[in-house]
Amino acid sequence: MAILDIVKVPDTVLRRKARKVTDFGKDFQLLVSNMIDTMRDAPGVGLAAPQVAVSERLVVVEYADDEDEENEETPPAAKKLYVLVNPEIVVKSDEMVLGIEGCLSVPDLVGEVDRHERITVKALNRHGQPIKIKAEGWLARIFQHEIDHIEGILYTDRTDKVWKPRDDEEIPLD
């Protein structure tokens, strides 16, 4: 597979509402595989197609539910890979949580963003089959961040507080 170039602000593709995916053929499957490889190489926890200059409603996410709770006594949790095609948030909790986010398309900056604590996402998998995912905490945050990308929204649009992180700050990047 190939590692794709990740576009950065101010590239206009990041500000466009992406088009719906209707063709799940060979070219699309190659794009999905290349995006997964690109996300892992970056390294990031998520990647949306507009970030690789493809204006389609496609998101890949790889995250372990207890990734934040790893310690020396327990082995690292297995990461779960999500491929969301034409994703839509259908349920949002009233409870909001402030958290720090970074973005592969907005290098060297992070910001505090208010996100829903729990969401339900309806989408198609990479083969066009319907899926529904209930997510909470960081996974819900990652999904919201990536779905914003396919709407042409960056995390910097949702915050007034953006800064350059210290070298010792670990921030999951999409």
**pLDDT classification of 77: cutoffs 50, 70, 90:** confident
Kindly name the residue from 95, 146, 151, 170 that is annotated as catalytic. 146
pLDDT at 69 over 60: no
**pLDDT classification of 161: cutoffs 50, 70, 90:** very high
pLDDT for the residue 33: 98
CB of 172 closer than 8 Å to CB of 138: yes
List Cβ neighbours of 139 (8 Å cut-off, separation of 6 or more): 61, 63, 65
pLDDT for the residue 65: 72
pTM, full prediction: 0.92
Active site (annotated) includes residue 146: yes
Residue ranges in the chain assigned as alpha helix (H): 26-41, 137-150
Taking the C-alpha atoms of residue 90 and residue 122, their distance in angstroms, rounded to an integer, is 7
81-95, pLDDT tens digit by residue?
999 999 999 999 999
Q: What is the DSSP secondary structure assignment for residue 19, as one 8-state letter?
A: B
**pLDDT classification of 113: cutoffs 50, 70, 90:** very high
Domains within the chain, CATH numbers bracketed: 12-163 (3.90.45.10)
